[in-house]
Amino acid sequence: MRLFEWYEDLVRVYLVTELCAGGELYDRIISIGFFTEYDASVLFKQMMRAVLYCNTNSICHRDLKPENFLFVTKEHNSSLKLIDFGLSQIFANPGILSSLINAT
C-alpha cells in the first residue's frame, strides 16, 4: 500500500494512503465460501510477492493473516495489498531472513 503523506499532532499520527475499497481478504473468503484453485493461486502469488518484498528490505511483518490483505477494488480480479505493519520488525542482518527462505 502506498503512503502519500503523513501528519501528526500532539496525540496522533495520521497516514494518507491509497484507497483500497475492495475490503479484506477474510471478508471475501467468508462471503464466497471458497476460491477456485486458479484464483487461490493468483492471490497466493500476490501475497508471497508482498512478503518477499518486505523480507528483501529486511522487514518481517509478523502478523500475516487474511484480515491484513486488502483488495484494491471490489472486482473479481482485483489485486491485494498488505497492510498493518504495527507488529513488524526490521532486521539488522538481512541474511537471517534470506537463509530461512533459501533453506526450503
Q: How many CB atoms lie within 10 A of CB 71?
A: 21
- Residue 83 is assigned to a structural domain of this protein: yes
Amino acid 96: pLDDT: 61
Instruction: Count up the domains in the chain and report the number.
Output: 1
Amino acid 101: pLDDT: 57
Contact between 42 and 54 under an 8 Å Cβ cutoff? The reply is no
Q: What is the largest CA-CA distance in the chain?
A: 49
- Residue 42 is assigned to a structural domain of this protein: yes
- Residue 84 is assigned to a structural domain of this protein: yes
Query: What is the extent of the structural domain holding 30?
Result: 22-102
> What are the average pLDDT values for consecutive 10-residue runs of the chain, which has 104 residues?
90 90 96 94 97 91 96 95 91 65 57
List the CATH number of the domain containing 88: 1.10.510.10
- Residue 8 is assigned to a structural domain of this protein: no
One-letter amino acid of 97: L
- Residue 65 is assigned to a structural domain of this protein: yes
Residues taking part in catalysis: 63
Question: Measuring CA to CA, how many Å separate 58 from each of 53, 82, 93?
Answer: 9, 16, 8
- Residue 17 is assigned to a structural domain of this protein: no
- Residue 47 is assigned to a structural domain of this protein: yes
pTM of the model: 0.80
